[in-house]
Chain A
Amino acid sequence: MTLSADALTKRFPDGTLAVDGVSFTVAAGECLAIIGESGCGKTTTLKMLNRLVEPTGGSIAFAGEEVTTLKPEALRRRIGWVMQGDGLFPHMTVAENIAVTPRLLNWDKARIDARVDALIEQVRLSVSEHRGRYPAQLSGGQRQRVAIARALSVEPELLLLDEAFGALDPLTRGALQDDFTRLRRELGFAAVMVTHDMAEALLIADRILVMKAGRVVRTGTPEDLLRDPGDAYVEELLAMPRQQARAIERLEAGHA
């Protein structure tokens, strides 16, 4: 088991109960999607996993260790993180952004250079063209690819993604989702992926966790959820992708 969260709770100092007793597990290589409407506590849950937010209750075990026993910086250097908005350092080139964590871990320069070049290729950017550019000189999709490359820099067992594809146009987003699935197959990392897009969760994740107002309302594989939503809220979330799929089927049938 790569990750297991038990009864995670977060009450902010101002009294907001953002996360209320959330439990889940992520197996090695598995992709868990956390889905729910804006403000339901997805980001807070994700940030507790690498201790950017300290839980006020519950426990987290990563690779068999209780995370509160690890130094936060050491933990974060072992877990890849793609934050909401790309979060790239504007004063660093693509290569420097990707090299941040390896440098913190004191890798030697040759190893860092080789790793950076390999990652640029893996996220389907061009070493010759993009390596020395600054984030401001890239498109939104390219920036997101760099953010993913940066999160993968030290070959982490676990990747955390917070609406990583949310702000992109549909074509770019589709391409990026495909590449993400391919990378996961090639590199075998586990992932916790926060999204508010049910279609994305259905297409990419192995398992889906539905949150509402800080609580878990349903956990299951995409097939489980489609077969038996089990909850009116989940039903609601599934309605839109279903409608769209049917409409497209009808159109295609009509043309045939």
Chain B
Amino acid sequence: MPDRLDEAVANLPGYLGGHMQLVLSGLLISVLIAVPLGIFAARNRTLAGPVLGVASTLQTIPSLALLALMVPILGGRIGFAPAFIALTLYGILPILRNTVVGLQGVDPVVREAARGTGMTPLQSLQQVELPLALPTIIAGLRTATVWIVGTATLATPVGATSLGNYIFSGLQTRDWTTVIFGCLVAAGLALLLDQAIRLAELAARERKRAPAFAGIAIAAVMAMGAALPLVTGTSAARGIGSGEGEVMAGIEGRTVVIGAKGFTEQYILAALLERVLEDAGADVEIRENLGSTIAFDALRSGEIDVYVDYTGTIWATVMEREERAGRYDMFVRMAGWLREEHGILALGRLGFENAYGYAVRRDWAEENGIATIADLSGRSVRVGGDPEFFARAEWLRSRDAYGLQDARTRPMDSTFMYGALRDGEVDAVSAYTTDGRISDYDLVVLDDPLQILPPYDAVMLISPDAARNPALAGTLSVLLNAIPAETMRQANAMVDLDGATPGEAAAWLYGEVVAAED
């Protein structure tokens, strides 16, 4: 517990700083867009409706989806840019709506007085209408602030550092201390910013102290946001290959960006790659908790240099292949396709498979005489799985091939599905075959006689740019075929069951597979 907290505190400057940068820049640009647009809309009543309509529609797009959509829209950019744009779009509505409402709420008598005293429309806006609408506009700004602070925690899967890193990592590794820590800091930040704006507004109303008070409050908040990333020295480095076209040799002193998706095995493997690369003298930066397709997009565009993916995932999701292929055949065809189509180097297999498999409780299987997926046919079993699984071809095809039409699906976070199976809340789950909880909870993975579920060999993928530097592939080749499935399962269990950090599990794994060879 205490070391979890220590680690959380140590990460605070980087995470909070990233979060503040997202929030402040998102808010600033929201204001710069929403206030002028609101002024324009308030003056053209026919325009007010459509403008507010578009903004409200943007608001109804679930925030996680809006964030994720920005990645392909920006051509595979991950990190700050997509998160910043999505947050800005999110912040616009409350400010825009309140600007329109505030301006339209100014007493017509007062507006006429402004004209009667000789003000031009612009002077009336600056000297009378905007000051009178300001409390309403500020209320919108405060709403936007609270929304953006909250939504920025969802920026983690698109690769932007934020307080969401605590929440996503903690959730995947069942580390509740870290999850709660992240939530508390985010809530505290929302309250703090909200109060800072309120104080600035009060100060602005007590006009004597206005500039001093408001200035200090805002400046303090800004300084916090700007200073934190400097403290940690993190910068949004791009991949090592991003130096235009030159062929680079060597790895010492270069920064390698490792990507990782958002689950335990990926955190451990990223930490393992980090150790291996640091042994060779590279500086390493890790972008973890990337959404599944976001990681691939980021690799293709060179935002990250290397990450571990699984053959079956690339085969079905990226290559969009319907046909089945054997384990080795699939790897070779995938590697050729990736090199051909995207210039991506599939360095090779780590040695283990992390496939989808249908897991059930051993006692339940014995009671009901179930040994293969086909035995589930026609039963109204409850199947738990991560939401991604039920959208994938694996589910659709195994459902059709094995007659699982009567099954009821229960999408849930993969963290919870093993516990739900153990506790009898579901009868089967779409397990990951390397998960440590399979043996610990006495679960069995059902046979797949028709070989519907494709192989999922873990492979290291290197970006087109980074592939030009042979030293990176050379350094990482020590991991080729080095990790048996059982070893990976043990490493996962250390984190998921014994409360070790991914870093600790990676250290153990390093000892097993790299140091042992020397």
Contact with A along B102-120 (1 / 0, CB 8 A): 0000000110111111111
Instruction: Tell me if A52 is interfacial: C-beta within 8 Å of chain B.
Output: yes
Q: In this assembly, does B8 line the interface, its C-beta being within 8 Å of a C-beta of chain A?
A: no
A150 at the interface (CB under 8 A from B): yes
Number of interface residues of A (CB under 8 A): 18
Contact of B113 among A50, A89, A91 (CB under 8 A): A89
Q: Please determine whether B115 and A87 come into contact, CB atoms closer than 8 angstroms.
A: no
The reply on A101 being an interface residue by CB < 8 A is yes
A50 touching B119 in the complex, CB below 8 Å, given contacts A87-B110, A91-B131, A91-B132 = no
Which residues of chain A are within 8 angstroms of B118 by Cβ–Cβ distance?
73-74, 76-77, 101, 104
A81: interface (CB < 8 Å)? yes
Residues of A within 8 A of B131 (CB): 91
Q: Is A88 an interface residue (CB 8 A)?
A: yes
**Cα distance A73–B109 in the bound complex, in angstroms:** 17
Task: Knowing A89-B110, A89-B128, say if A73 contacts B116 (CB, 8 Å).
Answer: no
Docked-complex contact A104 and B119, CB < 8 angstroms: yes
Residues of B with C-beta under 8 A to A52? 112, 115-116
Q: Cβ of B117: which chain A residues have Cβ within 8 Å of it?
A: 76-77, 81, 100-101, 104, 150
Which residues on B sit within 8 Å (CB–CB) of A100? 117, 119, 127
Contacts of A29 in B (CB 8 A): none
8 Å CB interface, A67-85 against B: 73-74, 76-77, 81, 83, 85
Residue numbers in A under 8 Å from B113 (CB-CB): 83, 87-89
Judged by a CB distance under 8 angstroms, whether A174 is at the interface is: no
On chain B, which size bracket covers the interface? 10 to 19
A39 near B: Cβ within 8 Å? no
CA distance A50 to B117 in the complex (A): 10
Residues A87 and B132 in contact in the complex (CB < 8 Å), given A73-B118, A73-B120, A76-B118 = no
CA of A89 to CA of B119, assembled, Å: 13
Docked Cα-Cα span, A100 to B110, in Å, equals 13
**B195 in the interface, Cβ–Cβ < 8 Å?**
no
Assess whether B123 is interfacial by the CB under 8 Å rule. Answer: yes
Say yes or no for A230: interface residue by CB 8 A criterion.
no
Q: Which residues of A contact B112 (CB under 8 A)?
A: 52, 83, 87
**Alpha-carbon gap, A52 to B109, bound state (A):** 12
Report the separation of the CA atoms of residues A76 and B117 in the bound assembly, to the nearest whole angstrom: 6
- In the assembled complex, how far is the CB of residue B306 from the closest CB belonging to chain A, in whole angstroms? 59
A21 within 8 A of partner (CB): no
CA gap between A52 and B127 in the complex, in Å: 19
A241 CB–B CB distance under 8 Å: no
Instruction: Answer whether residue A90 sits at the interface, using C-beta atoms and an 8 A cutoff.
Output: yes
Closest chain A CB from B135 CB (angstroms): 10
Task: Mark each residue of chain B from 124 to 135: 1 if its CB lies under 8 Å from any CB of chain A, else 0.
Answer: 000110011000
CB neighbours (8 Å) of A81 from chain B are 116-117
- B234-258 near A? 1/0 per residue, CB < 8 Å: 0000000000000000000000000
**Which of B114, B119, B120 has the most A CB atoms < 10 Å from its CB?**
B119
Question: Nearest Cβ in chain B — how far from A45, in angstroms?
Answer: 15
Q: In the bound complex, do residue B116 and residue A50 qualify as a contact, i.e. CB atoms below 8 Å apart? A: yes
Q: Which residues of A contact B128 (CB under 8 A)?
A: 89, 91
Query: Which residues of A91-139 are within 8 A (CB) of B?
Result: 91, 100-101, 104
A101–B131 CA distance with the chains assembled, in angstroms: 18
For residue A162, give the distance in angstroms from its CB to the closest CB of chain B.
10
Q: What are the residues of chain B within 8 A of A50 when measuring CB–CB?
A: 116
Closest Cβ of chain A to B101, distance in Å, is: 17
- A83 neighbours in B (Cβ, 8 Å): 109, 112-113, 116
Give the residue among A52, A91, A150 with the most B Cβ atoms within 10 A.
Answer: A91
B109 partner, pick from A74, A76, A87, A91, beta carbons under 8 A:
A87
Please report the C-alpha to C-alpha distance between residue A87 and residue B128 in the assembled complex, in whole angstroms. 12
**How distant is A78 from chain B, measured CB to nearest CB, in Å?**
8
A179 CB, min distance to chain B CBs, angstroms? 21
Residue among B110, B116, B119, B127 with the highest chain A CB neighbour number at 10 A: B116
Counting chain B CB atoms within 10 Å of each CB, which of A50, A73, A77, A101 scores highest?
A: A73
Within 8 A of B (CB), among A40-86: 50, 52, 73-74, 76-77, 81, 83, 85
User: Bound state CA distance, A91 and B118, in angstroms?
Assistant: 18
**A101 vs B123: C-alpha distance in the bound complex, in angstroms?**
11
Jot down 5 A-B pairs with beta carbons below 8 A, ordered by A: A76-B115, A77-B117, A83-B116, A88-B113, A100-B127
Task: Give 13 A-B pairs besides A74-B118, A100-B127 with Cβ atoms closer than 8 angstroms.
Answer: A50-B116, A52-B116, A76-B115, A83-B109, A83-B112, A83-B113, A87-B116, A89-B114, A90-B132, A91-B128, A101-B117, A104-B119, A104-B123
Please list the 10 inter-chain residue pairs (A to B) with the smallest Cβ-Cβ separation, ordered nearest first.
Answer: A77-B118, A87-B113, A76-B118, A81-B116, A100-B117, A91-B131, A73-B118, A101-B117, A104-B118, A73-B120
